[in-house]
Amino acid sequence: MSRGFVKEGDQEEVPLVPPRAFLPAGVVNYVTPAGMEQLLQEREELLRERDSIRADGQETDARVTRNFLNAKLELLENRIKIAKVMEPKKMGEIAFGSTVTMRMGGNELQIQITGVDEAVASKGKVPFTSPMAKALFGHHPNDIFDIQLPAGMKTVKILSVE
> What residue spans define the domains of the chain?
27-87, 99-161
Closest to 134 (Cα-Cα) out of 85, 90, 94, 77: 94
pLDDT at position 61, please? 82
Residue 33 is classified by DSSP as: H
Q: What is the mean pLDDT of residues 32-50?
A: 96
List 110's β-bridge partners, or say none: 101
98 within 8 A of 112, measured Cβ to Cβ: yes
Confidence tier at 30 by pLDDT (50, 70, 90): very high
Strands laid side by side in the 144-149 sheet: 125-127, 107-114, 99-104, 152-161, 144-149
The third-level CATH classification (topology) of the domain covering 99-161 is Chitinase A; domain 3 (3.10.50)
pLDDT value at 131 more than 80? yes
What stretches of the chain show up as alpha helix (H) in DSSP?
33-51, 59-81, 131-136
- pLDDT interval class at 113 (50, 70, 90): very high
Q: What is the DSSP letter of 88?
A: P
- Asked whether residue 24 carries a pLDDT value surpassing 90, the answer given is yes
Q: Are 99 and 162 in contact (CB under 8 A)?
A: yes
Compute the distance between CA of residue 53 and CA of residue 65 in angstroms, rounded to an integer.
8
Reduce the DSSP state of residue 49 to 3 states and report it: helix
Return the bridge partners of 57, or none: none
pLDDT of residue 1: 42
Whether residue 148 has pLDDT greater than 90: no
Q: Which fold has domain 27-87?
A: Helix Hairpins (1.10.287)
